[in-house]
Amino acid sequence: MFKKINISGLYLNLNELLGPISKDFGSYRPFVEFEINNYNYMLNEVSKHLKFLIEPSECNITRISTPGSEAHKDHWPVVLNYYFNPNSDTTYWWKQIKNCIEDNPEGATNYNFSNLEKIDSFVAKKHDMYLLNTKEIHSVHVRKNSEPRYILKFAWHNRTFDEILNSIIPL
């Protein structure tokens, strides 16, 4: 479901990386994706701490605002998240207790919490990296008074969690 990638000393500057909005999911979804403003800076800093044997399919900055995300599966199977400011908010993992999909908007499959059972969770700290199997049901609870949560997201299309886990080499 998820695995913390143990690295130390990677301290990226959000202001240096945050580019223009690339995708706004609207008020219906509390997500906004941004382009990487200084890709060379990002690659230079990340490559001092990690080596990717399988290059990511895409990379962006994602902002998640209150209340966070519904329980869902993403359209990409694997992401590596670098947390700029996780605000002690929790990422949850779920399993279905009833086979019922609430809705299926572009790019994600959403589930009604009443049809789910919580099976695991984690709270990322600032500058942590977690590899996530986003084909498993997950959600992010952003507390009411939390600032928006910013994440550097590396995504892989058409790959499995284990393939990517085995291809990331901390330096």
Give the sheet arrangement for strand 78-83, strand by strand. Answer: 2-4, 129-133, 78-83, 149-156, 58-64, 31-36, 18-24
Q: Which domain holds residue 7?
A: 2-170
Instruction: Give the pairing type, strands 138-141 and 18-24.
Output: unpaired
CATH number of residue 34's parent domain: 2.60.120
Residue 42 pLDDT greater than 80, yes or no: yes
For residue 62, the surrounding DSSP H or E stretch is: strand 58-64
85-133 confidence digits (pLDDT tens): 988 889 999 998 876 655 555 556 778 888 899 999 999 999 999 999 9
User: And the tokens for 73?
Assistant: 């599966």
Q: What is the pLDDT of residue 162?
A: 97
Q: How many residues does the chain have?
A: 171
Q: Are 79 and 153 in contact (CB under 8 A)?
A: yes
Cross-strand partners of 169: 51
pLDDT band per the 50, 70, 90 thresholds, residue 28 = low
Amino acid making up residue 120: D
* Total tally of structural domains belonging to the chain: 1
Q: What is the mean pLDDT of residues 57-71?
A: 89
